[in-house]
Amino acid sequence: MPAETIIVDSYFDGERHHEHGPYGFLIADGRITAILPAAQLALVAPPAAAPQRAAFLMPGLVDAHVHLFLDGTQLDATRRADYLKAPLDEMLAVAAHNAAATLACGITTVRDAGDRFGINHRLRAAAAERDAGLPAVRSAGLGLKRPKRYGAFMGRDVADSGEIVAAVHELAADCDDIKLILTGIIDFDAGRVAGEPQFDLESAALAVRTAHALGKRVFAHCSGTAGLDVAIAAKVDSIEHGFFMSCDRVRAMADRGIAWTPTFAPVHFQWVRPEVAGWSPQTVDNIARILGEHAENLVRADAAGVTLLCGSDAGSHGVGHGTGLLDELQWLHEAGLSVTAVLRAATGAARRHWGEPALLAAGAAFDAVLLEASPFERFGALREPIVVFRDGRRLASPLGVTTRPGATERSRTWLAEA
- Transcribe 324-391 into DSSP letters: HHHHHHHHHHHHT--HHHHHHHHTHHHHHHTTS--S--TTSB--EEEESS-TTT-GGGGG-EEEEEET
pLDDT on residue 219:
98
CATH number corresponding to 4-59+356-395: 2.30.40.10
Give span(s): CATH 2.30.40.10, the chain: 4-59+356-395
- Please report, for residues 151, 239, 271, 285, the alpha-carbon distance to residue 413 in angstroms, rounded to integers and kept in the order given: 32, 27, 10, 12
Give span(s): CATH 3.20.20.140, the chain: 61-353
What element of type H or E holds 10?
strand 4-12
User: From first to last of its 418 residues, what are the pLDDT tens digits of the chain?
Assistant: 568 899 999 999 999 999 998 999 999 999 999 999 998 887 776 666 688 899 999 999 999 999 999 999 999 999 999 999 999 999 999 999 999 999 999 999 999 999 999 999 999 999 998 788 899 999 999 999 999 999 999 999 999 999 999 999 999 999 999 999 999 999 999 999 989 999 999 999 999 999 999 999 999 999 999 999 999 999 999 999 999 999 999 999 999 999 999 999 999 999 999 999 999 999 999 999 999 999 999 999 999 999 999 999 999 999 999 999 999 999 999 999 999 999 999 999 999 999 998 899 999 999 999 999 999 999 999 999 999 999 888 885 565 444 333 333 333 443 444 3
pLDDT on residue 78:
94
Q: Tell me which fold the domain 61-353 belongs to.
A: TIM Barrel (3.20.20)
Contact (Cβ atoms closer than 8 angstroms) between residue 317 and residue 272: no
pLDDT on residue 277:
93
Q: CA-CA distance, 25 to 181, in Å (whole number)?
A: 43
pLDDT on residue 50:
80
- Please report, for residues 13, 219, 223, 385, 386, the alpha-carbon distance to residue 370 in angstroms, rounded to integers and kept in the order given: 12, 31, 36, 6, 5
Model confidence, pTM:
0.93
